């Protein structure tokens, strides 16, 4: 398969690492609004064609899909143009900055008969897939799902536009992953309540969100970009007292479980912690991909869907649901009120 890639930043480098580990795929053209950036990226990865105007890339006839790795504010116009040229689309998260923009993208994609996949990569982490299977098989009667993300943006060299209102701020950059993961586990979220502060940046950079669902399950999102260090904690709590922590960092993924305590055991928290399921991604394809192991599985599934004409692994409707949830969280942060998710 031949791919055109729009946007030559850090995320695009990660996508290139994935493509180099998938048999039968080649990135044949790239585009970036900054000429030097496009040329440097193309030279680095051995790509023959580099454009400043992405429209020139869209005129390349043999493309099987176009991979969009640009700032979120540009997703809607670029994705709509890609669809108009008749190309399939792989679109980085979040899908857009509003549900209205999502609807425009979906409309153009359907109108021109293209396939569109949103890059909700963390759903495809081995530990997340296993955790979801455990919940679906009722190994865990889910009561709560907590996603806590604490990051130091200087460590990861995030671009300054991540912290601007134009791009949705930290909520849309770092909050998108917890949002779609919560929808993946809770499925039907009915209302949200969020509180937060603007500590270091002109946007909310420290916030917490409570997500309610019709049943007994609820979700918690915590995001902080004022931390000195960086850590991710994902925690599942079961109705019978069991807890599980899907591990999502490094070159391997596992699920750490704390079994239900036995009556009369005063030290259960120390002796009942076990590694029941070890899911190592150290196999022929993906052993060194680290964080991008989720992209690896997602992109492989998307390529397969293009070959057999099936639905993409993350259809645009799922991207729109996530954007709607982010809109509700943002509204709650600004109004200090509970917001229904419709």
How many C-beta atoms surround the C-beta of residue 44 within 10 A? 11
Residues in the chain: 342
Where along the chain do its domains lie?
Answer: 2-121+292-322
In the chain, what is the straight-line distance between the N-terminal and C-terminal CA atoms, in Å? Answer: 39
Q: Which residue has the tokens 């002796």?
A: 271
Can you give the pLDDT at residue 259?
Answer: 60
Q: 218-224 and 206-212: which strand pairing?
A: antiparallel
Q: What angle do CA 97, 53, 94 make, to 5 degrees?
A: 20
Are 102 and 95 a contacting pair, CB within 8 Å?
yes
The backbone torsions φ and ψ at residue 2, rounded to the nearest 5 degrees and listed phi first, read -110, 135
Can you give the pLDDT at residue 285?
Answer: 39
Can you give the pLDDT at residue 229?
Answer: 84
Task: Count each helix (H run) and each strand (E run) in the chain, helices first.
Answer: 12, 15
- Calpha distance 240→237 (Å, rounded): 9
In 3-state terms, what secondary structure has residue 207? Answer: strand
Residues of the chain falling short of pLDDT 70: 249-253, 259-287
Can you give the pLDDT at residue 102?
Answer: 98
C-alpha of 199 from chain center: 25
C-alpha of 251 from chain center: 18
Say what the pTM is. Answer: 0.91
Q: 273-279 and 253-258: which strand pairing?
A: antiparallel
| Residue 165 DSSP class | G
CATH of 2-121+292-322, picked from 1.10.10.60, 3.40.50.720, 3.40.50.2300, 3.40.605.10, is 3.40.50.720
Tokens of 331: 């509204």
Tokens of 255: 């699920």
Can you give the pLDDT at residue 278?
Answer: 41
- For helices 10-19 and 293-308, give the axis angle rounded to 10 degrees: 60
Can you give the pLDDT at residue 252?
Answer: 56
56 exposure class (CB count in 10 Å sphere: 0-12, 13-18, 19+): middle
């Amino acid at each position: 398969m031949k791919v055109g890639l729009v946007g030559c930043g850090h995320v695009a480098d990660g996508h290139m690492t994935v493509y180099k580990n998938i048999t039968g795929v080649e990135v044949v053209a790239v585009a970036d609004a900054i000429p030097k950036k496009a040329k440097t990226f193309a030279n680095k990865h051995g790509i023959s064609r580099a454009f400043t105007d992405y429209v020139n890339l869209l005129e390349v006839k043999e493309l099987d899909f176009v991979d969009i790795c640009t700032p979120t504010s540009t997703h809607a116009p670029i994705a709509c143009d890609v669809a108009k040229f008749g190309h399939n689309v792989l679109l980085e998260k979040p899908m857009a900055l509003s549900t209205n923009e999502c609807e425009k993208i979906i409309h153009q994609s359907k109108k021109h008969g293209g396939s569109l996949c949103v890059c909700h990569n963390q759903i495809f982490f081995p530990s997340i897939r296993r955790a979801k299977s455990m919940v679906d098989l009722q190994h865990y009667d889910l009561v709560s799902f907590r996603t806590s993300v604490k990051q130091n943006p200087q460590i990861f060299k995030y671009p300054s536009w991540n912290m601007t209102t134009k791009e949705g701020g930290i909520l849309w950059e770092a909050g998108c992953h917890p949002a779609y993961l919560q929808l993946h586990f809770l499925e039907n979220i009915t209302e949200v309540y969020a509180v937060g502060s603007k500590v270091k940046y002109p946007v909310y950079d420290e916030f917490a969100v409570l997500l309610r669902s019709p049943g007994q399950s609820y979700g918690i999102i915590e995001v902080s970009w004022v931390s000195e260090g960086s850590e991710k904690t994902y925690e599942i709590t079961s109705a019978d007292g069991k807890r599980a922590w899907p591990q999502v960092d490094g070159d391997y993924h596992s699920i750490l479980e704390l079994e239900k305590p036995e009556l009369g055991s005063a030290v259960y928290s120390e002796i009942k912690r076990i590694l029941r399921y070890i899911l190592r991604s150290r196999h022929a394809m993906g052993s060194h991909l680290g964080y991008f192991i989720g992209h690896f599985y997602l992109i492989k599934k998307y390529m397969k869907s293009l070959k057999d004409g099936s639905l993409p692994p993350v259809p645009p409707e799922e991207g729109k649901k996530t954007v709607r949830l982010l809109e509700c969280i943002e509204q709650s942060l600004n109004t200090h009120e509970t917001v229904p998710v419709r």
